[in-house]
Amino acid sequence: MIMKRSKIKLFIVIVLIGILCSLFLHNRTKAGKNIKKIVHPSKESISLTVVTTGIVEPQNRLEVKPSISGRIEQMLIDEGDKVQQGQTLAWMSSTERAALIDAASSQGDEVLDYWEEVYKKTPIISPITGEVIVRVVEPGQTVTSAEPILVLSDRLIIKAQFDETDIGRVRKDQAALITLDAYPDVQIEGVVDHIAYESEIVNNVTIYEVDILPKHVPEILRSGMSVTVEIIERTSQDALTIPSEAVNYDGKSTYVLVQQSTGKIVQQDVVIGLSSNNKTEIVSGLSINDKVAVFQQPELAQRKTTGSNPFMPSRKNK
């Protein structure tokens, strides 16, 4: 009887060992099938940015109006021309001079020359050094002193709008990247020049205007163009990064799954830093020689992200 009981116990132990081995191999095979890829951490620069949209506008937009009413006799500049302060932009005749010259022209060249010499044309002088961005008149056109004939700009800048939740991350002299909607492959470096002290209400949202100065103004830049602006808030140079999909969060800790030399997958707690473009900085917990497993369907939930309003500026990591 004792021998029979011993055999039964041995049989049960063997069955249990078999079941445990089977479960282990099954889970290991299942885990292996769920592995999407094995990645190595890499070293690269990663930045935290604040992103919004903006419009190209003149920093100082100056309308040039004639001091008298009369007729435009000659335009010396065109749109896009660079002008200097004190430069003559156009010549015009007052209403009286235009009438006198018209009458003299019917009396012969000698009379016309006399009155043109005695009654001089009036010059229109550039008040600033800048660029002509609008020209609305042609020679022979009659104008009044109340209407602008030219618009000058000293330089083009970017007027960007940030909501009140993001404006605290923007500071004067921060670096910025400007991308033109019309030329998405063109990126212009800029710098924050001015942050408005007074807010505006746009669509029931409190926003602040920020002036971005381009470090250089390409020929393709035009007033009124729409742009995307990235203000670089913080940069981590030579950061250790892995794909963001490899980072897991269980509500208590942040971890990655590391493949050991034996092939076994183990959980490794990490401290993360900046995240950008599907890359996450690992501050501690990993080395560059580690092998990190990325699973097809991680069993534990990823870190919850906060939704954003697609119509408002948003923080972005780069």
Q: What is the CATH number of the domain that holds 78?
A: 2.40.50.100
Q: How many residues does the chain have?
A: 318
In a domain, 188, yes or no: yes
Q: List per-residue pLDDT tens for the chain, 318 residues long.
A: 555 556 566 556 565 566 655 554 444 434 444 776 888 899 988 888 889 999 999 988 899 999 999 999 999 999 989 999 999 999 999 999 999 999 999 898 999 999 999 999 999 999 999 999 999 999 999 999 999 999 999 889 999 999 999 999 999 999 999 999 999 999 999 999 999 999 989 888 899 999 999 999 888 988 899 999 999 888 888 889 999 888 998 888 899 999 888 888 899 899 998 887 788 999 998 989 999 988 765 444 444 333 344 444 555 555
Predicted confidence at residue 14, as pLDDT, reads 66
What global pTM score does this model have?
0.59
Which residues, other chains included, contact 221 with Cβ-Cβ below 8 Å and sequence gap of 6+? 56, 156, 180, 188, 214
CB atoms within 10 A of CB 160: 27
SS3 content of the chain, % helix, strand, coil (to 5): 20, 45, 35
User: What are the distances in angstroms from CA 2 to CA 25, 143, 296?
Assistant: 35, 123, 52
Same domain, 54 and 194: yes
* Helices within the chain (DSSP H only): 2-34, 95-105, 109-118
Predicted confidence at residue 12, as pLDDT, reads 66
Same domain, 100 and 139: yes
259, 206 Cβ separation under 8 angstroms: no
Closest by CA position to 67, among listed 49, 47, 85, 89: 89
Predicted confidence at residue 235, as pLDDT, reads 86
Record the tokens describing residue 182, joined without a space. Answer: 């019309």
Record the tokens describing residue 101, joined without a space. Answer: 């010259």
The last residue of a domain, from among 184, 218, 235: 235
Enclosing domain of residue 132: 61-153
In a domain, 18, yes or no: no
The last residue of a domain, from among 126, 153, 180: 153
The last residue of a domain, from among 205, 235, 265: 235
Phi, psi (5° rounding) for residue 72? Answer: -75, 120
Same domain, 74 and 219: no
Domain count, the chain: 2
